[in-house]
Amino acid sequence: MGVKSLWSILNPTGRKAEVAALGNKVVAVDASIWIVQFIKVMRNQDGSMQAGAHLKGMFHRLCKLLSLKVKPVIVFDGVMPALKRKTNEARRKLQSRSKGMITKLAEQLLRNKIKAHSLAVQDAKKEREAAARDDAENGKQKAPLDFSNPHNTSASNPPKSSGPS
């Protein structure tokens, strides 16, 4: 899981074989490699990790090996080697730095959005004030509304008639 040049070290002693050709043989399996594979591959439709993906994957692969009469020995790592630990630490630092950068960018975007909204509100207010000044200068002041008759929509009440004409 992330030790650079591992395969170049192992290649001279390794040999390729079809899984079916391993019948009636004992085969060591690195559990951590399988688990990482299942976690990365087994996803829901929305892209989130399936619950228990590592268990489902292990079960199905073990069933396949057993059906081919392969005798798997599952190897769970003991203490992490120093090189692997350094690699994982470097990854964690990089990931942490990236998350920090993403957070800063998100905050900056939010500040910019708030600033743009604030400027738009200020511009709209200035436009309303300028329009009101223009109306006042041109004598287009709105007449005060008369609320004594709620059905009257004109600025001033029309003369009342004294009876039928």
Q: What is the DSSP letter of 19?
A: G
Alpha-helical segments (H) within 68-164:
82-137
C-alpha–C-alpha distance, residues 61 and 33, integer Å: 13
State the pLDDT at residue 83: 78
**pLDDT tens digit sequence for 62-120:** 999 999 999 999 888 667 777 778 888 999 999 999 999 999 999 999 999 999 999 99
2: left (phi over 0), alpha (psi -120 to 50) or beta: left
- Decide if 148 contacts 157 (C-beta within 8 A): yes
Average pLDDT for 1-7: 64
Contacts of 57 (CB under 8 A, 6+ apart): 34, 35, 37, 38, 41, 42
Q: What is the pTM of this model?
A: 0.41
C-alpha–C-alpha distance, residues 63 and 23, integer Å: 13
> C-alpha angle with apex 40: 34 to 42, nearest 5 degrees?
90
